[in-house]
Amino acid sequence: MVKCPRCGYENSASSKYCDNCAYLLTDQNGNRLVQNKRTSSWNIGIFKKIVIVLGIVVIALLLFSFIYNNTQPSREDSLNVITDNGSLNHSSSYPYTAVIKYDGSWFAKTGDPNYLSSITGNGQKRETLDCASWEHVYIMAQKEDNGEGNLTIQLLKNGNVVAQNSTTNTTGSIEIHYNN
């Protein structure tokens, strides 16, 4: 029996090529070829090589997943949530206030033009706007009862009126666009 130097398969003594991997076992003169030990490749089958490579890939993916998950901020840390426990001074944090005056029912949208809040009411109402002093401010109010009274909106900044608009139209709708 002749052992293949490449795959280790036991071949018959008369074999010129390995029956398992077709490696040349003899030269043209019939002499057995001996593989140099320094240049030998792995003496394992292709299935074992595939298993080893897949194992390395799985270990690398698990390591990457572990590192990725442990370096990401928690859900609470990644949310930009600000809560007010009543200790904030709204006059400096939120300098704008909308005042809507009408004897009947009305509907309004107020705030930064990109993030409007909807409010409804009857009579006069003051609403602190969630806008910083450098932001644009928008107020739109409309009568809901088709009344003939005067609908007035005012924009106050730190308590001072900076813009005002009013209408007596029965289906009145008015707006204020304010850029500081």
Contacts of 10 (CB under 8 A, 6+ apart): 1, 2, 3, 4
* Position 148 in a domain: yes
Round to whole Å and give the CA distance between 111 and 21. Answer: 77
Contact 138, 111 (CB under 8 A): yes
Round to whole Å and give the CA distance between 173 and 35. Answer: 95
User: Does residue 126 share a domain with residue 52?
Assistant: no
Longest dimension (CA), the chain: 118
pLDDT digits (tens, 9 = 90+) for 75-116: 666 655 555 555 544 445 678 899 999 988 999 999 888 888
Q: How many domains does the chain have?
A: 2
pLDDT digits (tens, 9 = 90+) for 123-149: 899 988 877 767 789 999 999 888 888
User: Does residue 96 share a domain with residue 59?
Assistant: no
User: Does residue 123 share a domain with residue 56?
Assistant: no
Q: Which of 156, 142, 131 is nearest to 108 (CA)?
A: 142
Dihedral, 131, 132, 133, 137 alpha carbons, nearest 10: -20
* Position 140 in a domain: yes
Range of the domain at 45: 2-65
Round to whole Å and give the CA distance between 109 and 106. Answer: 11
User: Does residue 49 share a domain with residue 101?
Assistant: no
* Position 84 in a domain: no
User: Does residue 97 share a domain with residue 37?
Assistant: no
Checking if the pLDDT of 24 tops 70, the result is: yes
Mean pLDDT of the 52-59 span = 96
**How far is residue 138 from each of residues 22, 39, 111, 118, measured CA to CA in Å?**
82, 79, 5, 12
User: Does residue 97 share a domain with residue 154?
Assistant: yes
User: Does residue 168 share a domain with residue 118?
Assistant: yes
User: Does residue 111 share a domain with residue 55?
Assistant: no
User: Does residue 61 share a domain with residue 102?
Assistant: no
Mean pLDDT of the 114-122 span = 89
Q: How confident is the model at residue 56 (pLDDT cuts 50, 70, 90)?
A: very high
* Position 32 in a domain: yes
Picking from 65, 84, 119, the residue at the C-terminal end of a domain is 65
User: Does residue 151 share a domain with residue 100?
Assistant: yes
pLDDT value of residue 89: 46
Mean pLDDT of the 11-39 span = 76
User: Does residue 166 share a domain with residue 96?
Assistant: yes
